[in-house]
Structure 1
Amino acid sequence: METPPHPRGAKAHGLYMTNDDESVKIPAMVVKEEGFHEVKKAVQSYKWKEGDVLLASYPKNGTNFLWEIMTMLLRGTSEYIQDYKAMCMIDLFPVTKLDDKLFPSPRVLNTHYRIEGLPTEFHDRKTVLVLRNPKDVCRSYFFMESNLMWDKVGAVDTCLKSMTLSEYLRIFLYGKDVPFGNYFHYVEYMWALKSKPNVHVVFFEDLVLDPVGEIEKLNVFMETKRSKDLVEEIAEATTFAKMQQGKSTQGHDNQALLSALGTNEETMKKTLKLMFRKGKIGDWKNTFTVADNELFDAFLEEWKGGQDIPFRYV
């Protein structure tokens, strides 16, 4: 069966994030074309600020969850971060606009692109990589993409909203031109960096099951030197239920962000609610059909690049 193109993929818009010499091209996430060009120009001209940390993750791997924890560690607080994470997302908001007034350093910049597809300025920085089992990623990403209602995207939303999970699953497994590139290509490349001293890997499932232990590892890697008491307070504050309640109403009135994303306050409120939906391990079992799971398992069995990755599916 032929894999259908992603409605927001590179075949639709022909835009890519690239490294310095454009030898690596990754299909871009495009909300509006002029906005992407501004974002790419900002990434290409940005000069790294010492003390900042890079959070790397494919969509729906726990980015919001981990960003909050890492920013709390940097700021030495268990209070929810009032600044909105998307402003530090170099894929969506022009990173050159960030300054000490808008979003002070040290800060956690985050990206869904493979590091090889970014300019050299972003290579070899202190980087936290978060991974999640691919079945839950697929399920969560499908929900987000089929319900995310950017007001500038237009008819593309209709294509995604009418798509079934089974149809989307084939795009997730086999699609090459999907925004941010194929999930499995992403994981293979990023997992190969795990032994580098500037890279720390976190599994979403470990963070859910042992938050104190995983946050303490981040505390050591990031050299934030926070107390055991604060680590425990951060773990308590960032349980999914509390994050869902505490974060879903923040950031929707930031006009600089709304303008960059080409959206409005009402749409942003809806989007924020979608970002904090369940955060569970094994939710794929509630929605995959037997045929879906068999197709996924057959793919994973053939996926040589993921054989040594200790994914946890339940």
Structure 2
Amino acid sequence: MSGRHSMLWTHEGVSLSRVITKETLDAVLDFQIRDDDIVVASFPKTGTNWLAEIAVKILRAAGKTDKSVDSMEFGPMEMKRPTATQPGYITLADMPSPRLVMTHLPVKFAPQGISKPQNKDLLSAVKTIVAFLEVDLDEATVKDIAEASTFDNMKAGLDNSTIAERRGIARKGIIGDWKNTFSSEESAAFDAWCEKKLGGTGLTFDFE
């Protein structure tokens, strides 16, 4: 086999670069993500380095990091650059905070701190958004907003909206309900369309 396909290998149905080893995939699952990590998770060639460069420049301008902790130097955590002696995740583990964590790994191969965060409940999410928007709200107000933002409460508000288009936005709030909407023929047609458009790219999607 020659060309770009010789640069890839397949693991659990996913095409991966040969610079990513099975040993690295196993180790990365247990990589410890810190609360103050900045994670850039994306498909390759979708502006990853551009976004990461912007993040680094912002951190430097704010005095939160400098060249010595620039994780841009080794790229995605799962890869080992030709001039490097070890994969990026090993170097990253010993770096001081705040770290910039870049990865192209699919969710099922990513560190559990990214794929299955243990801290991502509604109240915490609202607090994160409050901090991001740089507003000052007391704890009681934040809790009220979180309670009003549960799926059931949000759905009730949308279902009774005076704007007709908003009444059908919130459905059941569960994963996989498409199976109750698509017929088997529609599902097969959509799968065929995805294969036609994405076949050979290595891109796959889990609709479960």
TM (norm. structure 2) is: 0.33
> TM-score normalized by structure 1?
0.24
